[in-house]
Every structure is written in structure tokens, then in C-alpha cells.
A = this chain, B = another copy of it.
Amino acid sequence: MLAPVEKLLKDFDAGTTFALARAVSIVENQRPGVDDILASMHPRLGKARRIGITGPPGAGKSTITNLLTREFRNAGLTVGIVCVDPTSPFTGGALLGDRVRMESIALDDGVFIRSMATRGSLGGLASTTREVADVLDGFGYDRVIIETVGVGQSELDVARTADSTVVVLVPESGDSIQTLKAGVMEIADIFVVNKADRPGADRLRNDVELMLGLRRGASYGNMPAHHGVDLKRAMNPARAAREDAKLESPDKWTPPVLSSIAAKGEGIKEIAESLDRHFGYLERSGELRQRRRERMVERVVEVVEKRMRQRILDADTVAWVKGRVDELESGSVTPYVVADDLLKKFGHLVTGATK
């Protein structure tokens, strides 16, 4: 183990924010020491509840993250935030404008914010984000919020690393709910229709609920309840209570469809409450433990892939491939043949044997 990393981890254990920031940077950029830091995090993991916030650009994710953070702070909880932006090479500047943080949380000692403008992250965006979340968890934050800005598959992959995922939608986010692909429905534990005072909000909420009903194979008449402003629920509290009980049955979770007007601070408390309910469900049903165990297996697989690359694909083997490029160019061998030859010749190194 590198001496500087030992020192860093000592400061980290002492709760120095500076050491945390350095550890996060090392992990984010996969610099030397990353493996030692992550290995030392492992036994400390599991305290933080990891919350993913995702949705299309302009949905109000940052505002909701800010207000949720304030809500958690008011409850005496510390919060680590990873803001993931799979930066567009074309619109990067514009997206950054979206990330202005409220001073109240940016200057709060109980809050740590790291924006990852990861372009072509070495270990893969989702993998690196999870590792940064591990560091925040290991440092002792009660809540770790993973907010994804931008669009794409990577967003879904990132969301999958959270315990609870909030999908934020807005009425103008698409011509219809048809634009919500299956992947989004699968990762959402809580839906939030933000800017709920805009035209189309009710229709969007109905569409999402219908889709949830369809997903469960239920009929139109068996639409799941939502916890936002709902006249029917307000008029029939007994039925609403029954519905909630069903929602919270230990072996089943139906994503609620909440409403918010984040710009006015409305609906945030309900999101926090829903997150508590979801975490309660995860614990009671055993799904939390199962999800976390699955993630540990995935983590081992990731480390195996990384190790194999580190041990096989170094300057020596690449030079060896380059020595065969004339053959490749002439067409006398294919990349498959050269790859197989390489693994025959250097494959034993993968076991950790020295050269």
C-alpha cells in the first residue's frame, strides 16, 4: 500500500472533509491508490441510503435534489451528493448552467457535493459513480443522492446503483408517455410529476398510472393510487388507507406517482416520506439485503474485468500486437486469431503470476 494513501485514509477516518474530497478525486479519476481506498471502504458500507434522482433535462432534478437535501438536513441527517453529467460534447456548457446550487446547501458542513463531468470515464460511468457513492457511504453520510443530468443509457445504469430511484417527469417532457421506455418503468421506485401546475400534468400522471397498471397486468379499473394531490383519495380516506396498506405489503411495492412544484417548494416533503416508506419496504421485504448482495457480486465481476485488463493489456502485449499488424493488414490473419494467440502467450498473467 502506498504511504500517501495510508495517510489519506487516516485523515479520512478522522472525518476530514479535505481527505474525503481527495479520496473522491482519486476514485473519480481512477488514479493510483483507488483500489486501496475502495478496499478500505468495503467494511464500512451500508449505512447510507442511496437515492437516485433521474429524468429528462429540464425536469427540475437539481431543484428537487436541493430541496430534498434541505429536508434531510432539517431532520438532522448528513447528505452526500454525486451529480453525474454524461457531458455532451456539443451542449456541455448549457447543461452546466443547470447545476447552480443553492448556497444554503453548498455552504452547509453536513453536505458534500461532487459534480462528475465524466467524459469517457475509464472504468465506465456507472461503475465509477458507484465507487464515489461508496466513498461517501464509507465517510458516514446518512443519505447519498445520485443525481443524473443529461440523457442516455448511462443514466439508467447509474440509477440501478441506488437503493431507491426517483424518476422526475414534467408535462412537456414528451408528446406522450409512449416516450417512456421500458427501462425507465423498471428502475422507477417513485415517480414525481414536477411542475404539476402546468397544463398536461394531470394527463401525464394518469398516463404513468395507466402504464403502471398495464405493467402489473391489471385492468383500467385497478389503477394504483398515487400520493400526490388526489381528489378521490381525499374524499375517501378509508379507501386510500387500504390502498396504502396494499402498496406497503411486505412483498410488493407499487411506485407511487407524486406531484410537485419544486420551484415553489411544494411536494418535497411527500417525496421524502415516500422515500422513507420505500426504504421501509426494502428492509421488511428483504429486498434491500438482496439488492446489496447482488451489487457485491456485480462489484466482484467489475474488479475481475479491471484486473484482467490491467494484467494482460499493458505496453508489452500491445507492442506484441503491433508486431503482428503487417499480417493483419495483409489479411493473412484475423483479429480473432491474433487475440487467441495473445491469450495463449500472455493469458497466464491473468492469475496474478509474475512475468
With the chains together, A292 CA to B169 CA distance in Å?
45
Residues A175 and B94 in contact, CB atoms below 8 Å apart: yes
Comparing A75-83, A103-111, A307-315, the segment that makes contact with chain B is A307-315
Chain B nearest CB, measured from A303 CB (Å) = 4
Contacts of A22 in B (CB 8 A): none
CA distance A88 to B152 in the complex (A): 4
B297 touches A90 (CB 8 A): no
CB distance from A171 to the nearest CB of B (A): 13
Provide a sorted-by-A list of 24 A–B residue pairs whose CB atoms are within 8 angstroms. A38-B334, A38-B336, A39-B334, A42-B328, A42-B331, A43-B334, A45-B331, A56-B91, A87-B152, A87-B181, A89-B184, A90-B181, A91-B174, A91-B179, A92-B179, A94-B174, A119-B181, A297-B328, A300-B335, A307-B339, A307-B340, A308-B350, A343-B351, A347-B347
Interface size class of A (residues with CB under 8 A): 35 or more
On whether A90 and B184 interact (CB within 8 A), knowing A304-B313, A328-B296, the answer reads yes
Complex Cα–Cα for A64 and B94 (A): 25
Residues of B within 8 A of A302 (CB): 335
Chain B residues in 8 Å Cβ range of A94: 174-175, 179
Question: A-B pairs with the 9 shortest C-beta distances?
Answer: A347-B351, A43-B331, A88-B151, A303-B339, A56-B90, A93-B179, A42-B334, A347-B350, A39-B334
A60 at the interface (CB under 8 A from B): no
In contact, A93 and B301 (Cβ under 8 angstroms): no
A284 contacts chain B at the CB level, 8 A cutoff: no
- Expressed in whole angstroms, the minimum distance between the Cβ of A4 and any Cβ of chain B is 19
Query: Is the CB of A218 closer than 8 A to any CB of chain B?
Result: no
Number of copies: 2
- Complex interface: chain B residues within 8 A of A318 (CB): 297, 301
* CB <8 Å contact, A352 and B348: no
Q: Which of A162-218 contact B (CB under 8 A)?
A: 173-176, 178-181, 183-184
Q: Are the C-beta atoms of A321 and B297 separated by less than 8 Å?
A: yes
Binding site for B on A (CB under 8 A): 35, 38-39, 42-45, 55-56, 86-94, 119-120, 150-157, 173-176, 178-181, 183-184, 289, 292-293, 296-297, 299-305, 307-309, 311-313, 318, 321-322, 324-325, 328-329, 331, 334-340, 342-344, 347-348, 350-352
Residues in B with CB closer than 8 Å to A328 are 42, 293, 296-297, 300
Contacts of A42 in B (CB 8 A): 328, 331, 334-335
Chain B residues near A184 (CB-CB < 8 A): 89-90
A88 and B153 alpha carbons, distance in the complex (Å): 6
CB A318 to nearest CB in B, in angstroms, measures 7
Contact in complex: B303, A336 (CB < 8 Å) = yes
**What's the Cα separation between A223 and B301 when bound, in Å?**
51
